[in-house]
Amino acid sequence: MSELSQHTYEANGIRMHTAEQGDGPPVILCHGFPELWYSWRHQLPAIADAGFRAIAPDMRGYGETDAPPRIEDYAHEQICADMLGLLDAIGEQRAVFVGHDWGGAIVWALALHYPERVRAVAGVNTPFAPAGPTSPAEARNANPGRWDYQLYFQDPGVAEAELEADVERTFRLTFRSSDPADGFDVLAGSHDVRARGGWLAGYPADAPRSVMLSAEELDYFVQTFRRTGFRGGLNWYRNQEVNWRWARTVADPKIERQALMVTAGKDPILTPDLASHMEQWIPQLSRGHIEQSAHWTQQEAPEALNRILVDWLRSLPATR
C-alpha cells in the first residue's frame, strides 16, 4: 500500500494543503462544513489501492489552506477556481471530483461550468439541482424549514462565537451518527436554531463523543479548529445570492459527464428525496444508497461508501 503524503500547492493565489495517496488518474475529494481533508481519511487508501491518485485538500478557509479575510472570497466561483488551480499545480488537465456537503455543491458547479476539466463527478449526500428563478436566500427567508441554521450562520461573528467557545464540545455534539448509541443528532434540529438561541443550544454539554469517532480522531478536528476558528467555513454560507447568480449564467444546466449520487438514508438535512429528480439534468447518472448513515457518511459508513466509490471509479472509461 502506498503511503499517505502531504503537500502544499499554490492555487488561485492561495496556498492549498492536501493529503494524497496512490498513483494514477487523479480523484479529488472535496469536504464540507465543518470538516477537513481528514474527513476522507478512510477513502484515501481505498481509492489509492484501486489504482488512482487520491487527493483530499483542506478547502479554502480550512485547516492548513489559506483563509482569505473577506466574505466574498468564499463564493463558489472562487472556490471552483481553487480546484482548477490545484489541477494546474499537479499538472493534470482533468480529474474525477467527489464532494460531500458544501464540497458536493462545488463539484457539481465544476461539472456545470468547467466540464472540460472534469472527467467524472460524484456527490455524497449533496444532490444537484439547477438554479431556479428565485434565489435560495430569498426562499429560505420566506420559509426557512430545515435551512433555518443557514440563516443563523449569516451574521458574521455570531456562530463563530458559539462554535469557538468550546471547540471540543462543538465537535462532540455536531459529529453524531445514526447509531442509536449516539442518542441524538444535532442536525435534526436544523429547523429551529434561531429560536433555540444557537446551533448547539438545548443539547447536553456532557454528551460523550460519537461512536463513529475515536478519541484521537475527534481530537484532530478539535486541535485544528482551535487554531483556525470557524470563520472561513461559515463564510461559505454567506454567498448564497452570489452563488445563485453565477449558477444562473449557465443557459442549459445539464451535466454531460458520468456522475454518481450517493444518498444516505438517515441524513436529516440532505435527505434522499432531494436527489430524486437528478436524471433529468444528468443523463449519465449512477446511484448508490447507504440506508444506515446520517450526514457524516465518509466517517460513519466508510466501508459501504468505499465500495460504492471504488466500483464506480473502476467503471469509468480508461482515458485520463
Q: What is the pLDDT of residue 320?
A: 63
Domain that holds residue 48: 5-315
Q: In the annotation, is 9 catalytic?
A: no
Q: What is the pLDDT of residue 242?
A: 96
Of 101, 148, 182, 267, which one is the catalytic site residue?
101
Q: What is the pLDDT of residue 179?
A: 97
Question: Do residues 23 and 49 lie in contact, with contact meaning Cβ atoms separated by under 8 Å?
Answer: no
Identify the CA nearest to 97 among candidates 318, 309, 319, 317. Answer: 309
Is 59 a domain residue? yes
Q: In the annotation, is 277 catalytic?
A: no
The grid coordinates of residue 166 equal 468550546
31: CATH: 3.40.50.1820
Q: How many residues does the chain have?
A: 320
Cα separation, 262 vs 283, in Å, equals 16
Q: What is the pLDDT of residue 139?
A: 85
Q: In the annotation, is 295 catalytic?
A: yes
Of 76, 113, 237, 267, which one is the catalytic site residue?
237
Is 79 a domain residue? yes
Is 320 a domain residue? no
Is 293 a domain residue? yes
Residues facing residue 9 across a β-bridge: 16
- C-alpha dihedral sign at 54, 130, 78, 62: negative
Q: What is the pLDDT of residue 110?
A: 98
Split the chain (320 residues) into runs of 10 and give each run's mean pLDDT: 93 98 98 98 98 98 98 98 98 98 98 98 97 87 93 97 98 98 97 97 96 98 98 97 96 96 98 97 98 98 98 89
What's the structural domain count of the chain? 1
Is 128 a domain residue? yes
Looking at residue 273, its amino acid is D
What is the Cα Rg of the chain in Å? 18
Is 18 a domain residue? yes
